[in-house]
Every structure is written in C-alpha cells, then in structure tokens.
Copies of this chain bind each other. A is one copy, B any other.
C-alpha cells in the first residue's frame, strides 16, 4: 500500500496506522465529495461500555457563517480517506446547515431521544 506519509503527517494523523488517539481527534478535517473542506471534528461521542464511537461532533468554522455551532454526525456517515487524512461525507451544505446543532458550550442532553433524532435526520438506523 502506497504510504501517504507527508499528506497524513500534515493532517496530524499517525500514518500509516489504523489508530488515532482520542485526544488527537480534535481538528480532523471533514470534506464533501467535491473535496471542499466543510469543517472539522471537535470530539466523538463514545459509548462508555462498548467503546464504540456513535457520532462525531463537528464545527464548520466560518464557512457557512455559522462560527461556533456544533453539528453531531452519526459515525456511519463519515468515510475515512487516508489520502486526504480526513473524513468525507456524502452531504451537501444545505443538509448540514438544516441538521441538529447546538452552540459550543451549550450542549444538549445527549440522551437516547437526542441520539435517535440525530440518526433519523441523517437516515441512519438507530440500533442502541
């Protein structure tokens, strides 16, 4: 497998390994299919028991004029791209802008009802 060391090193991820430290997740870029950078992952929401990441919480920077809003995205909509050193989503900006969100520092109650709402919005089956 061709190594993309310089690219992924620039992205701050450990190449060519599968694993990333949870405290290095912050800042991992998210792109759309056209290769435009949409934003970055601020943190993951992880199931305490299984250790499985259920969704990522993204910020979009100033791209949509939505500075410090955070957008939860189910993990299944993220497609990791080693070449880009980040995640790709098959979503357009309108879909994202209209999705569940909250202001940084004003997190919702991440209970099952909230989780389900996020999954339903993105059309992912909620199985927990």
Contacts and interface: CB of A to CB of B under 8 A. Distances in A.
How many copies of this chain does the complex contain? 2
Contacts of A115: 19
Contact of A75 (B18, B42, B51): B51
B18 A80 contact: no
A28 to B, nearest CB: 8
A84 to B, nearest CB: 12
A49 interface: yes
A67 B10 CA distance: 32
A57 B24 CA distance: 13
Interface of A: 13-14, 17-23, 25-26, 42-54, 57, 75, 78, 80, 109-112, 115, 128
